[in-house]
Amino acid sequence: MASQEGAIGCLGVIAVAGLIIFGIAYYEDAQWANKIFYWMNINVGDGSGWSRITIQSKPHDCEFMTAPMGSKNCHFEKVVSKVLWASRNGDGAPIRSFDNGQTWEPHPPGKCDFDLTLNCPTAFDPPGNVAPKYITTTGVIIQWKKVQE
C-alpha cells in the first residue's frame, strides 16, 4: 500500500515539474516549446512535422535591459503562418500559400521560384513533390512582429 502511494506521489511531482517547465518556456517564448506545441497540434504533411516547423529568433530590442537601458514602449507578437499546398479546382495545377490560405499562387512543388526549370526542394514542399488534391498543411513558420505601445 505504501509503495503504491509513493509511486502516485512521484508521478504527481513529475507532472507538476513538467507543467512548471512548460509554463516557463511558454512565458519566455522558448523556441523548443513552440516547436513541440505546433508539432503536436498541427498535422504537417507526411508526419515529419518536426523539420517542417521554422521559428525565427525572437528579437531583443524591446527588452528593458537592451541599450539604451529603460522602457522601449514596444513588444513582439508571435505571427504563425501555415504553408499550404493543394491542387487547383478545374485543371488540377499545384498551388501554394504562405499566409494561411489568404492568397494562393500556382507553383510546381520542388522547383525554384526564380527558375521553374531548376529543382530547389524545400522543407515546405508536399511529400513526394506531388501537390495534394485537398488543402494540406506542409509547414509552419513562426515570425515576430514589433508592436509599438
Closest by CA to 85, choosing from 56, 124, 117, is: 124
Mean pLDDT in the chain?
80
Domain ranges across the chain: 42-148
pLDDT digits (tens, 9 = 90+) for 107-144: 999 888 888 888 888 878 888 888 889 998 888 888 99
pLDDT digits (tens, 9 = 90+) for 40-95: 766 665 556 677 888 888 888 887 777 777 788 888 898 989 899 999 887 889 99
pLDDT digits (tens, 9 = 90+) for 15-35: 776 676 666 555 556 677 777
Exposure string (b/e) for 53-79, b if CB count within 10 Å is 16 or more? bbbeebeeebeeeeeeeeeeeeebeee
